[in-house]
């Protein structure tokens, strides 16, 4: 009996149900990438890179290997900079950060090409890819915090939460519109290039260079006319990320979701309460938990553990949305998922709200570890059940190509031309089930 079968028997569940899996027959993948950097530069690089991958290598295996590059760098953080400060970490780890992120981005972009060139595109590929992307959102934020030397600070908290919400909104947008839309300037392209550049800067000049006040640098003194005194490069990076998130990302996502709801006859208020409210509450709960003067997260340097615990929860949240999108299910009830984080935010702030201390620092740490272990187990079980359900229904294997099936050259050209012109790609006509 397989692990998945044993798990189903133990939990007495048929999740995901056969009724929901039937909707996979109507699966259509649609994506638009408006980035000029992608169109004129990166697509040529990806077309070159895909030739290095053998046809027997499964697309999901490529995605997973890419994620391992990032996990390796998170391990380096645990070894050399567990306080996330980065000031005393060896400079070479920042070069490793840049290489790892670049390789992740490369593998993440060629996996779809591999699926199309082998004729193995499937809904599982989209779920697997986005699930890895959701986890990588946390990993990227951790590496950014270390490379910028943010340590246990409010800027680190803001960068972590902003990065998380940005990915979440794109996922929610795809659920309502059916299209993964990447604008002219987007995180998976320009954001990754900028982050890689930041890693290389820290490799060459050290994380401490991000904390030199710009008004003390002659070549950057002209910036002081628009910035507060003693502003540092780290502050510009963090608040610049927040600015572009609010001005460019949020506005476009909210507009797209509003238009989609209007076309589908959905109540915009209900859609917002189902999708926007949970991530807003989640972000605020995390912020108030971390920034509480009664919490030990920052004062005792446990923010790294916090990011791993809540990053795992976020992976489950984002993956649940993608599963609902693929199976035409209702938007998942995420408020139940995040209730432990809300509870912790209330408990640590109880002295300020009701004048009573309801939780000690030692208990807070125990509960944080409990949260991490619990969500790793829950998410792991969720992944096993969903992948097994998809594979059994579609008649495929997750990390192995059962039978190589290459597309006709005309089909490959059709897909590539559509991608280059920013036309949504319907991969349902090329799937193998």
pLDDT digits over 27-78, tens only?
888 888 899 999 999 999 999 999 999 999 999 999 999 999 999 999 999 9
Q: Is position 367 within any domain?
A: no
Any domain includes 355: no
Euclidean distance between CA atoms 230 and 58, whole angstroms: 51
Q: Are 230 and 247 in contact (CB under 8 A)?
A: no
**Banded pLDDT at 410 (limits 50, 70, 90):** very low
Radius of gyration of the chain (CA): 22
> Omega of the bond prior to 16 within 30 degrees of 0, cis?
yes
Orientation of helix 154-177 relative to helix 303-326, angle to 10° = 0
Task: Using CB atoms within 10 Å of the CB of residue 215, give its burial: 0 to 12 exposed, 13 to 18 middle, 19+ buried.
Answer: middle
Nearest in space to 279 (alpha carbons), one of 317, 243, 247: 317
pLDDT score at 190: 93
Could you tell me the residue range of the domain that residue 422 belongs to?
3-283+296-330+375-430
Min mean pLDDT across 144-148, 253-257, 428-432 is at: 428-432
Q: Residue 115's pLDDT is what? A: 93
Q: Is the pLDDT of residue 408 over 50?
A: no
Q: Are 60 and 122 in contact (CB under 8 A)?
A: no
Q: Distance between CA 171 and CA 121 in Å, rounded?
A: 20
The average pLDDT across 405-423 equals 46
150: burial class by Cβ within 10 Å (0-12, 13-18, 19+)?
buried
State the Cα–Cα distance between residues 151 and 142, nearest whole angstrom: 10
Residue 276 domain flag: yes
pLDDT of residue 411: 45
Nearest Cα residue to 69 out of 111, 110, 108, 103: 103
353 found inside a domain: no
Residue 395, pLDDT > 50, answer yes
Residue 242 maps to a domain: yes
371 pLDDT higher than 80: yes
Residues noted as catalytic: 130
Between CA 98 and CA 103 the distance in angstroms is 9
pLDDT of residue 426: 45
**Residue 76: per-residue pLDDT:** 97
Number of domains comprising the chain: 1
Please tell me the distance from the alpha carbon of residue 335 to that of residue 318, in angstroms, as a whole number.
Answer: 13
Q: What are phi and psi of 172, to 5 degrees?
A: -65, -40
**Residue 338 domain-assigned (yes or no):** no
Q: In this predicted model, what pLDDT tens digit does every residue of 228-282 receive, in sequence order?
A: 888 999 999 999 999 999 998 999 999 999 999 999 999 999 999 999 999 999 9
Q: Check whether 403 has a pLDDT greater than 80.
A: no
Helix (H) or strand (E) holding 70: helix 59-80
Average pLDDT, the chain: 90
Cα distance from N-terminal residue to C-terminal residue, the chain: 25
Q: What is the pLDDT of residue 13?
A: 87
Q: Is 125's pLDDT higher than 80?
A: yes
Distance CA 433, CA 418 (A): 23
Q: Could you tell me which of 309, 180, 177, 199 has the C-alpha nearest to residue 256?
A: 177
Q: Which of 191, 304, 288 is nearest to 237 (CA)?
A: 191
Local structure of 32: helix, strand or coil: strand
pLDDT value, residue 381: 96
Higher pLDDT, 208 or 403: 208
Q: Is residue 97 part of a domain?
A: yes
Q: Strands of 37-98 (E only): list them.
A: none
Specify the length of the chain in residues: 433
Quick check: is 233 in a domain?
yes
CATH number for position 253: 1.20.120.1760
């Amino acid at each position: 009996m397989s692990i998945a079968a044993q798990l189903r028997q133990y939990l007495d569940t048929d999740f995901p149900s056969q009724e929901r899996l039937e909707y996979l027959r109507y699966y259509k993948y649609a994506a638009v990438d408006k980035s000029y950097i992608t169109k004129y530069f990166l697509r040529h690089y990806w077309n070159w890179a895909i030739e290095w991958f053998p046809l027997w290598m499964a697309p999901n295996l490529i995605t997973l290997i890419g994620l391992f590059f990032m996990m390796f760098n998170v391990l380096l953080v645990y070894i050399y900079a567990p306080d996330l400060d980065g000031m005393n970490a060896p400079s070479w780890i920042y070069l490793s950060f840049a290489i790892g992120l670049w390789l992740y981005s490369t593998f993440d972009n060629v996996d779809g090409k591999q699926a199309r060139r082998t004729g193995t595109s499937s809904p599982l590929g989209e779920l697997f890819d986005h699930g890895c992307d959701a986890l990588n959102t946390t990993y990227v934020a951790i590496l950014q915090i270390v490379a910028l030397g943010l340590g246990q600070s409010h800027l680190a908290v803001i960068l972590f939460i902003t990065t998380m919400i940005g990915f979440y909104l794109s996922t929610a947008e795809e659920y309502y519109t059916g299209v993964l839309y990447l604008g002219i300037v987007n995180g998976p392209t320009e954001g990754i290039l900028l982050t890689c550049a930041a890693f290389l800067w820290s490799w060459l000049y050290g994380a401490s260079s991000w904390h030199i006040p710009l008004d003390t640098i002659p070549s950057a003194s002209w910036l002081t006319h628009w910035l507060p005194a003693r502003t540092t490069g780290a502050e510009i990076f963090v608040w610049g990320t927040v600015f572009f998130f609010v001005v460019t990302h949020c506005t476009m996502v909210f507009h797209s979701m509003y238009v989609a709801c209007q076309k589908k006859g959905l109540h915009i208020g209900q859609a917002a309460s189902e999708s926007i409210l949970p991530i807003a509450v989640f972000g605020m709960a995390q912020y108030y938990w971390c920034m509480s003067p009664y919490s030990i997260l920052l004062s005792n340097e446990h923010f790294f553990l916090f990011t791993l615990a809540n990053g795992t929860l976020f992976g489950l949240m984002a993956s649940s949305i993608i599963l609902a999108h693929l199976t035409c299910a209702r938007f998942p009830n995420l408020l139940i998922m995040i209730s432990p984080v809300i509870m912790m935010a209330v408990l640590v702030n109880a002295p300020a709200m009701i004048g009573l201390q309801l939780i000690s620092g030692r208990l807070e740490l125990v509960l944080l570890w409990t949260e991490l272990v619990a969500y790793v187990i829950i998410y792991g079980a969720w992944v096993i059940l969903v992948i097994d359900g998809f594979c059994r229904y579609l008649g495929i294997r997750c990390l192995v190509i059962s039978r190589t099936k290459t597309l006709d050259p005309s089909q490959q050209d059709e897909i590539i031309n559509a991608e280059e012109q920013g036309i949504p790609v319907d991969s349902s006509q090329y799937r193998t089930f």
